């Protein structure tokens, strides 16, 4: 699979015609919010997803209930939709390739397959870094036991990650020395892995970028992210900690990466800011991202509308942020009465809605499970401090330990 960095003239798919149907591989919350944005503009939406009643299928005009690699299902989606995208990072790249013809699919299978493979992604970032100066963590591929023996000593302490299918901190083990690395790799059941040097993080940010087929590209403000137990907990935008210099460097690197990929659509790139102020690039998601949900309520163009625009080959929208925003992820845990109980009840959404500037988004998932992403709330305010205290208030209502920095 080769990357196509060429630019093409736009061939817009206008809304409100007999062909104005956008297809999505995957039926989760990202697909649901994409559908909301597409429908607001006048597109119909077709979702391919095996699970009945999934968040996106609840709102889409068409649901093709099939596995992501089911050729019959892909063929039905091809008939229904005029353009196809993905909301799910681990959709087989070959399923996207099924649609490859003349701007039908975005992002391309080639781009998605790089993002699905941490080693390919690191190689790609390293190549880009020769130009943009932002490197990934030092790393070493571990496919067989010999690679454990030959791993450079200076990568320890490090993090062993599976090359494929990791998300929300899953498939990762922190290792202090070679003995722990041996054990961790033995526990990976032969999956190919990557050992990354443990970097001294000061904080983490992400940068959303979008690019059209004609090479037009836009970059959103820097989002500062806090994770809890490996899952995104809060996103603050503008980032309270970042300097103008690092902002510029991260945004420039993100624009460089999206252009080098020849990527079409919305891409989210995660960066680390190290204790000495250095910027490092971590990973990318070939789709709208949880840390970009704030754009729905705080930017002129949401990341989902941007994805619709890129896919339909319309002009990209204004990325300006009109209000400071603090986003809180809502996990299934808040449905449970306490940490040990298996009794569930509906959280006090009326009290949440009473907080000025609160925008509640629930994804329509029938069953609340611990650590499951059920929704998010974005607090917009006239200052970040106000947005953060609104977020802290919501944490109290929902019984979540508030962030340390409020
Ligand atoms: P995931 O796909 O699960 O999001 P990440 O590579 O982003 O995987 O890792 C999850 C989290 O682990 C990061 O957000 C960061 O907090 C921490 N982390 C990952 N890699 C490193 C590293 N090389 N050094 C220090 N912390 C790291
Ligand atoms: Mg990550």
pLDDT tens digits for 191-222?
999 999 999 999 999 999 999 999 999 999 99
Identify which of 154, 169, 271 to mutate to test ligand 1's pocket (most ligand atoms within 8 A of the CB): 169
CATH class of the structural domain 21-115? alpha beta
The stretch 170-199 carries a mean pLDDT of 96
Indicate if 201-398 has the same CATH topology as 21-115. no
Q: Please give the mean pLDDT across all residues of the chain.
A: 96
Neighbours of ion ligand 2 (CB under 5 A): 270
CA distance 250 to 401: 31
Cβ-contact 296, 361 below 8 angstroms: yes
For ligand 1, atom 12: residue with the closest CA: 169
The stretch 171-187 carries a mean pLDDT of 96
Model pLDDT, residue 406: 55
Q: Which atom of ligand 1 is nearest to the CA of 199?
A: 24
For ligand 1, atom 23: residue with the closest CA: 198
CA–centroid distance, residue 45 to ligand 1 (Å): 34
Model pLDDT, residue 1: 62
Give the pair of three-digit tokens for residue 77: 């989606």
The stretch 258-264 carries a mean pLDDT of 97
Which residues does residue 206 pair with via DSSP β-bridges, in sequence order?
223, 270
CA distance 63 to 76: 10
Percent of the chain at pLDDT > 90 equals: 91
Q: Which atom of ligand 1 is nearest to the CA of 168?
A: 3
Model pLDDT, residue 3: 82
Contacts of 286 (CB under 8 A, 6+ apart): 86, 89, 107, 111, 112, 115, 263, 265, 267
Model pLDDT, residue 243: 98
Identify which of 135, 207, 272 to mutate to test ligand 1's pocket (most ligand atoms within 8 A of the CB): 272
Cis status of the peptide bond prior to 157, with omega within 30 of 0:
yes
pLDDT in tens, 342-353: 899 999 999 999
For ligand 1, atom 22: residue with the closest CA: 198
Domain 138-197 in CATH 3.30.1490.20: yes
Residue spans of the domains in the chain: they are 21-115, 138-197, 201-398
Ligand in nearest proximity to the CA of 121: 1
Residue 162: how many other CB atoms lie within 10 Å: 17
Q: Does residue 101 have a pLDDT over 80?
A: no
- Tokens 């490996």 map to which residue? 230
For ligand 1, atom 2: residue with the closest CA: 167
Q: Which atom of ligand 1 is nearest to the CA of 198?
A: 24
Cβ-contact 285, 115 below 8 angstroms: yes
Percent of the chain at pLDDT > 70 equals: 99
Q: Which atom of ligand 1 is nearest to the CA of 201?
A: 25
Q: What one-character DSSP code corresponds to residue 383?
A: S
pLDDT in tens, 351-391: 999 999 999 999 999 999 999 999 999 999 999 999 999 99
Which residues does residue 360 pair with via DSSP β-bridges, in sequence order?
377
Model pLDDT, residue 80: 97
The stretch 243-265 carries a mean pLDDT of 98
CA distance 166 to 188: 12
pLDDT in tens, 273-299: 999 999 999 999 999 999 999 999 999
Ligand in nearest proximity to the CA of 170: 1
Ligand in nearest proximity to the CA of 231: 1
> The pTM is what?
0.97
CB-based pocket (< 6 A), ligand 1 = 137, 159, 166-169, 196, 198-199, 201, 204, 227, 230, 270, 282-283
Q: Does residue 102 have a pLDDT over 80?
A: no
Model pLDDT, residue 170: 85
CA–centroid distance, residue 86 to ligand 1 (Å): 23
Residue 131: how many other CB atoms lie within 10 Å: 12
Identify which of 137, 271, 282 to mutate to test ligand 1's pocket (most ligand atoms within 8 A of the CB): 282
The architecture (CATH level 2) of 201-398 comes to 2-Layer Sandwich (3.30)
Between the alpha carbon of residue 253 and those of residues 68, 208, 290, 292, 371, the distances in Å are: 32, 11, 20, 18, 32
Model pLDDT, residue 167: 84
Ligand in nearest proximity to the CA of 201: 1
In the 3-class helix/strand/coil scheme, how is 259-294 assigned residue by residue? HHHCCCEEEEEEEEEECCCCEEEEEEECCCCHHHCH
């Amino acid at each position: 699979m080769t990357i196509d960095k060429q630019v093409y003239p736009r061939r817009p798919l206008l809304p409100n015609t007999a062909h104005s149907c956008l297809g999505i591989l995957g039926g989760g919350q990202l697909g649901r919010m994409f559908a909301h944005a597409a429908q607001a503009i006048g597109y119909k939406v077709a979702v391919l997803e095996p699970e009945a009643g999934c968040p996106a299928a609840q709102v889409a005009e068409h649901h093709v209930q099939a596995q992501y690699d089911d050729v019959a299902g892909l063929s039905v989606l091809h008939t229904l939709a005029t353009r196809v995208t993905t909301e799910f990072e681990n959709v087989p790249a070959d399923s996207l390739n099924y649609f490859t013809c003349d701007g039908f699919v975005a992002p391309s299978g080639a781009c998605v397959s790089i993002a699905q493979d941490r080693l390919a992604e690191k190689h790609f970032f390293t190549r880009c870094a020769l130009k943009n100066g932002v490197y990934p963590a030092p790393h070493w591929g571990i496919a067989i036991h010999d690679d454990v023996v030959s791993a450079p000593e200076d990568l320890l302490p490090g993090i062993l990650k599976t090359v494929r299918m990791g998300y929300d901190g899953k498939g990762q083990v922190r290792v202090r020395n070679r003995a722990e690395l041996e054990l961790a790799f033995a526990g990976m059941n032969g999956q190919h892995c990557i050992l990354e040097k443990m970097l001294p993080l000061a904080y983490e940010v992400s940068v959303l970028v979008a690019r059209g087929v004609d090479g037009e590209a836009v970059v959103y403000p820097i989002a500062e992210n806090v994770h809890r137990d490996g899952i995104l907990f809060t996103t603050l935008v503008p980032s309270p900690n970042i300097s103008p210099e690092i902002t510029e460097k991260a945004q420039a690197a993100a624009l460089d990466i999206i252009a080098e990929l020849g990527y079409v659509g919305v891409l989210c790139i995660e960066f680390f800011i190290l204790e000495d102020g250095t910027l490092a690039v971590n990973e990318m998601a070939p789709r709208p991202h949880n840390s970009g949900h704030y754009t729905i309520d705080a930017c002129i163009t949401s990341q989902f509308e941007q994805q619709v625009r890129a896919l339909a080959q319309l002009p990209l929208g204004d990325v300006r942020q009109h209000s400071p925003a603090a986003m809180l992820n809502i996990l299934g845990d808040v449905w449970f009465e306490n940490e040990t109980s298996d009794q569930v009840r509906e959280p006090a959404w009326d009290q949440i809605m009473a907080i000025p500037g609160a925008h509640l988004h629930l994804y329509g998932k029938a069953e609340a499970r611990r650590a499951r992403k059920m929704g998010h709330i974005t607090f917009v305010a006239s200052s970040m401090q106000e947005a953060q205290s609104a977020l802290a208030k919501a944490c109290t209502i929902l019984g979540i330990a508030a962030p340390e920095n409020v």
